[in-house]
């Protein structure tokens, strides 16, 4: 069994400030972890993923996430928010790496304030 | 095609009517998935196709929901006798094989009135 919890359904940051979106997971086997972004009127796009190896994963648009097994976390960060980052972000876990086994969190709506 | 295409992008239907949602996956992708995103909830898995067969239908919420895929390409998700709780964004994704990265379509926003 696997599950994902995203803390905070809405997060607001000022332009230029640090972005931190929290994700905690549970998985009975070593997880594959993903962050997806959904811009208005668009489909989901993969931001980054962790499978094995280096625990700090860099993705597109300056985002990165760190897999912390001891904390069962995979928080998404970006040092400096841009207005174009405003979107909904979904954390997902897959026990076997397959998209059919993806379990998504409920999403976090990021608002960037000028 | 260049990406996963879904149609229609928006659909408003009366309660009790049947609806069909279409998904055109990326050419050559053998795996196709349907997800549903309800207001205030996360994405939930509905069904998975490998080729034309559906080895995993575990996410379909009721027998009013069905899906088929023909020619290993286009898929149709059908909802019969729609209910208001069916209102959601229905997302389709495809991948190159069951373990490949999933590419998502823009979704179909279904509103049942």
Position A97 confidence tier, pLDDT thresholds 50, 70, 90: low
Residues B41-66: tens digit of each pLDDT: 778 889 989 889 888 888 899 999 99
The arithmetic mean of pLDDT across residues B13-42, rounded, is 91
Contact A43 B102 (CB under 8 A): no
Specify whether the CB–CB gap between B110 and B11 falls below 8 A: yes
- Nearest 5 degrees, angle CA B68-CA B52-CA B9? 45
Contact A90 B95 (CB under 8 A): no
Which chain B residues touch A40 with a CB distance below 8 Å? none
Chains A and B form CB pairs within 8 A to the count of: 58
Q: Are strands B5-7 and A32-38 parallel, antiparallel or unpaired?
A: unpaired
Contact B98 A107 (CB under 8 A): no
């Amino acid at each position: 069994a696997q599950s994902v919890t995203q803390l905070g359904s809405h997060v607001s940051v000022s332009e230029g400030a640090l972005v931190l979106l929290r994700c905690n997971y549970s998985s009975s086997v070593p997880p594959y972890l993903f962050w997806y972004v959904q811009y208005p009127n668009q489909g989901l796009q993969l931001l980054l993923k962790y499978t094995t190896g280096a625990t700090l994963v860099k993705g597109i648009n300056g985002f990165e996430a760190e897999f912390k097994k001891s904390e069962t976390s995979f928080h998404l960060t970006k040092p400096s928010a841009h207005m174009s980052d405003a979107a909904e972000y979904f954390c997902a876990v897959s026990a076997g790496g397959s998209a059919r086994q993806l379990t998504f969190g409920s999403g976090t709506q990021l608002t960037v304030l000028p | 095609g260049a990406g996963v295409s879904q149609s229609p992008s928006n659909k408003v239907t009366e309660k009790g009517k049947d609806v069909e949602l279409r998904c055109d996956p990326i050419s050559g992708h053998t795996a196709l998935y349907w997800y549903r995103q309800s207001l205030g909830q996360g994405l939930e898995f509905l069904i998975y196709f490998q080729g034309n067969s559906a080895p995993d239908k575990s996410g379909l919420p009721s027998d009013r929901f069905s899906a088929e895929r023909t020619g290993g390409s286009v898929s149709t998700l059908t909802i019969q006798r729609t209910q208001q709780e069916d209102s959601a964004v229905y997302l389709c994704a495809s991948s190159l094989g069951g373990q490949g990265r999933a590419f998502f379509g823009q979704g179909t926003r279904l509103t049942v009135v």
